Chain A
Amino acid sequence: MKALDRKLLRDLWKMKGQAAAIALVIVSGVSAFIMLISTMTSLNLTRDKFYREYGFADVFASLKRAPDGLKHRIREIPGVRDVETRVVAGVKLDISGFEEPVTARLVSVPDKGSAHINRLYIRRGRTVDAFRDDEAVLSEAFAEAHGFVPGDRLGAVINGRWKTLTIVGIALSPEFVMQARPGAISPDYKRYAILWMGRDALGTAYGMKGAFNDAVVSLEDGADSGRVTAELDRLLDRYGGLQAYTRKDQISNRFLSEEFRQLQRSAEIFPTIFIAVAAFLLNVVINRTVSTQREQIAALKAFGYSNAAVGIHYIKLVFLIVLIGSAGGIAAGVYLGRGLGRIYMEFYRFPYLLYELKPSVAALAVFVTFAAALAGTLRSVQKAAGLPPAEAMRPEPPALYRKTLIDRLGLGRFLSQPGLMIIRNIERRPVNSLLSITGIALSYAIMLGGTFFTDAFDFMIDTEFKRSRKEDMTVVFTDPTSGRAVYELMGLNGIEYAEPFRSVPVRLKSGHKSYRTTIQGIAPGNRLYLPLDTDFKPIKLPPDGIVLTDYLGEILGVKAGDTLTVEALEGTRPVREVAVARLASQYIGVTGYMDLTALNRMMREGGAISGAYLTVDELHQKEIYRSLVEMSRVSGTVVRKDEIKNFYATQAEVLLFFTFIASLLAGTIAFGVVYNSARIALSERSRELASLRVLGYTRLEISYILLGELAVFTLAAIPLGFVIGRALCAYIARSLSSDLFRVPVVVAPATYSLAAAVVVVSAWFRA
């Protein structure tokens, strides 16, 4: 090894504390990047493989009822490769020993041969026997949640008839990677299941022999999906077709895509902050190293080392630190990536997880880090390389101090001499001071950005499930029913109040923009379901016109007073121009609201309802569940409290993981910045401070001078961090917004305090 390289290693060893602090910041940045990107690419890879091998459909359509012969017409649509017609229905399940309402989606599998589209991955057992009407394949997540194995039985109410089904297999499907009830924002494995049964058996049960109510289509490569869906819509129109949609709008796939978007965005934001901080710290440290090694540099040059050789020597030092940090970051990133992947596998049900870290991703992380580090230290390296040897021989001139702003304002006399030293030192190097403050502020911001989800979700749940909704449970009927059904419900023992609602699938159009959703008809004098205005006050629905979720207003580009076209996709499918009465604030999903009577009028139907919101006497709750399971026109029941409970249960692990990672990352930044500031201050001013000791200052008073500066930095960083953190939260929330859900920018005071505490503790722990 060259003597100069030996010097490098020993120099590095000597500054090991500082180098380690910087390397740790790099480890954080690189590992966050690797973790997020590798999780994203792994899920992506897994998804693509699963979709490809199990024939995930390209286009989806549901309808009222059409004869099987239509299948051939669909296949003839240009661009269609294959089509499969199915019978799909919502059912109630009765799980012995589990007293809460459970609903399921029942999907038919072809009797002859295996499906070409949306094939099942059978994890255990087998698929159903075509000639048995009492066999079913159960989705894995649900089976796991209840401990079902092939051979177990469960009760189901299929088209109003009670039936005992034998579970013959446990399966996964590309169609239900994310198994959430329509309208829910998180999966509920205990209360929502997917069941697959033979086509013939289901056809018989639902009066669909030789007919179908759902079609899935695969497309030729390069086919125009827009034209296929339009053609399909035209074909299915007279059979009660709801708008056909592509993968992009398929709910399970939507959730996955949103997740990828979120991971990608996080991978852009967080690592960038770390790399920037690392570059700044390297700049400070290398600058200081060059200053202390002036005479050595002079000697090297005197002996004929070129400027480039000296420059490269210091670049190697930077490179070594980056290398150590990147290597640690990649290792930690892979470890965390696998952990995050496992957590995601709880949400997204794939048969397997193909973990992959592309070498190019790791290389990119190292390259970007090194480039940033180089950019950060270039000035110091140039200073070393360009140092004229004769000048370097002389010791560095004393630092230039001036009277500070505080002195000029005449406030200096209120400060002690050590106080003045602190202030002047901060003011002497405003850029470095500002960068140190920004560094600590960024750690605060990261802490906020990583933990505000908890508050945001609390607020979201509070608004959606507590302020806007007051019911105990929601009952949905199999078909629109006469309003009298409410009295039937009211007749059940223990039901205190029932509020009917009508839910109509519609296509809303404004100009060239259109969106498929439902209009919720709210009963006049509503007490249980209360759409909220933008001040979170209940909206009194107007007798005419429609109230839209604010986000839906954005999507359609309409505001209160505008008119939009409503195409109902049910019943006689009327098309109407409706005025937008106002916008409602809503975080989950997007909907239109109308007065129930107005909606019935628009649909040209009598007092039809789709279901009801109920309040019940808790004492009779179990009895009510049972009665509802037995009522043939009830297709499903959802309990509000269960929804909330389930949301937290499913999100808790993810939130905990992110809070933990964010605290760790924020801690490393605060630690890195403060530790380096302290070390540099100590090294720059050791003589000065030693002189003060000679003059009779105590150790404590000396510490005050040194730590006072850091305390000023830390305290100044908190308000700045607050601003940056708030902006970061807003940016994250904004970038995660979709029609599925919007994250409110809400940060509870406790979170601010927690973040501040983490930063201050990391800072002082270090100092």
Chain B
Amino acid sequence: MTSKDVVFRVKDLTKVYEMGEVKVHALRGVDLYLYEGELVVMLGPSGSGKSTLLNILGGLDTASSGTVKYRGRALSKATEQELTEYRRFHVGFVFQFYNLIPSLTARENVAVVTEISKRPMKPEDALALVGLGERLDHFPAQLSGGEQQRVAIARAVSKNPEVLLCDEPTGALDFSTGIVVLEVLERINRELGTTTAVITHNADIAGMADRVVHLSNGLISGININTVKKPPSELRW
């Protein structure tokens, strides 16, 4: 792979939270490259710093030190407004607890994003992509957990983002529903070529990734490259 294909360049990244009088070192100097079109699984136990890393990559949080470059642009030096623009036009998020707006239907939850994007899909198409073309007008409370997460994925991909960041997307789901969600993510990565990062503490999910980044205690403890990717349907946990 050439350097042209690098989407994220992370160098010596640290993040320190101050919780009252205690300092928590969430990241202690992380170096990482993410490449165009790959599906990366970041694996680690709770407190390993993976969510913090994802939030910084997504422009939701800022680093204490070090640099993060997205396609050559330094996110670590971006202003609030630049970060908002970055999130608006480049990144799609999927959260563990879906974060849907309960007062909006599936279609409207997607529209919240497409309305502010440059080249969005139609909300109906995005929902069809995740297999929810028939449940457009249901409110979150009328959908199952897996369906809600698929709405969240539709919402994240509807803007045609260049990167899709998923924070424990199956964390709140049972096994079979989780597999359905992972299949959707895999298909989007494959069909749309969206660079995708999935963080999880579930090691079994790692099988579907191009690369697996292991995090522990705020540091990268290793990176594996899967020569053979498993389809999600073959994953077991």
In the assembled complex, the Cα of A299 lies from the Cα of B155 at a distance in Å of 11
Q: A298-B99, A307-B84 are known contacts. Are A3 and B58 too (CB-CB below 8 A)?
A: no
Beta-carbon contacts under 8 Å, A362-412 to B? 388-390, 393
Is B55 an interface residue, CB under 8 A from the partner? yes
- Could you say which residues of chain B place their CB within 8 Å of the CB of A307? 80, 84
| Chain B residue at minimum C-beta to C-beta distance from A397 | B19
Is B88 an interface residue, CB under 8 A from the partner? yes
Is B81 an interface residue, CB under 8 A from the partner? yes
Is B116 an interface residue, CB under 8 A from the partner? yes
Contact yes or no, B60 A4, CB < 8 A: no
A1-12 near B? 1/0 per residue, CB < 8 Å: 011101100110
How extensive is the interface on chain A, given as a class? Answer: 20 to 34
Contact yes or no, A296 B101, CB < 8 A: yes
Is B35 an interface residue, CB under 8 A from the partner? no
- Could you say which residues of chain B place their CB within 8 Å of the CB of A393? 55, 60, 95, 99
Q: A2-B115, A7-B103, A10-B104 are known contacts. Are A306 and B109 too (CB-CB below 8 A)?
A: no
Is B204 an interface residue, CB under 8 A from the partner? no
Partner of A295, one of B60, B89, B97: B97
Is B36 an interface residue, CB under 8 A from the partner? no
Contact yes or no, B116 A305, CB < 8 A: yes
- Could you say which residues of chain B place their CB within 8 Å of the CB of A298? 60, 99
Is B112 an interface residue, CB under 8 A from the partner? yes
Some 16 contacts from A to B, beta carbons below 8 A apart, are A3-B111, A6-B104, A7-B101, A7-B108, A11-B103, A296-B99, A299-B95, A302-B91, A303-B93, A303-B112, A304-B91, A304-B116, A304-B117, A306-B84, A390-B52, A390-B60
In the assembled complex, the Cα of A316 lies from the Cα of B79 at a distance in Å of 26
Is B113 an interface residue, CB under 8 A from the partner? yes
Contact yes or no, A299 B101, CB < 8 A: yes
How extensive is the interface on chain B, given as a class? Answer: 20 to 34
For the complex formed, measure the closest distance between the CB of A157 and the CB atoms of chain B, giving whole angstroms.
Answer: 81
Is B28 an interface residue, CB under 8 A from the partner? no
In the assembled complex, the Cα of A300 lies from the Cα of B108 at a distance in Å of 13
Contact yes or no, B81 A306, CB < 8 A: yes
Contact yes or no, A300 B112, CB < 8 A: yes
| Chain A residue at minimum C-beta to C-beta distance from B92 | A303
- Could you say which residues of chain B place their CB within 8 Å of the CB of A299? 93, 95, 99-101
Contact yes or no, B112 A4, CB < 8 A: yes
Contact yes or no, B80 A3, CB < 8 A: no
How many residue pairs, one in A and one in B, have C-beta atoms under 8 Å apart?
Answer: 84
Q: List residues of B whose CB falls within 8 A of some A CB.
A: 52, 55, 58, 60-61, 80-81, 84-89, 91-93, 95, 97, 99-104, 108-109, 111-113, 115-117, 155, 159
For the complex formed, measure the closest distance between the CB of B157 and the CB atoms of chain A, giving whole angstroms.
Answer: 12
Q: List 19 additional A-B contacts (Cβ < 8 Å) besides A10-B104, A305-B116.
A: A3-B111, A3-B112, A3-B115, A11-B103, A14-B103, A295-B99, A296-B101, A299-B95, A300-B112, A302-B95, A303-B88, A304-B84, A304-B86, A304-B87, A304-B88, A307-B80, A389-B60, A393-B60, A393-B95
| Chain A residue at minimum C-beta to C-beta distance from B58 | A302
Is A516 an interface residue, CB under 8 A from the partner? no
For the complex formed, measure the closest distance between the CB of A281 and the CB atoms of chain B, giving whole angstroms.
Answer: 22
For the complex formed, measure the closest distance between the CB of A121 and the CB atoms of chain B, giving whole angstroms.
Answer: 61
| Chain A residue at minimum C-beta to C-beta distance from B87 | A304
- Could you say which residues of chain A place their CB within 8 Å of the CB of B61? 388-390
- Could you say which residues of chain A place their CB within 8 Å of the CB of B109? 3
In the assembled complex, the Cα of A11 lies from the Cα of B103 at a distance in Å of 7
- Could you say which residues of chain B place their CB within 8 Å of the CB of A296? 99, 101-102
In the assembled complex, the Cα of A301 lies from the Cα of B113 at a distance in Å of 10
- Could you say which residues of chain A place their CB within 8 Å of the CB of B155? 303
In the assembled complex, the Cα of A10 lies from the Cα of B102 at a distance in Å of 9
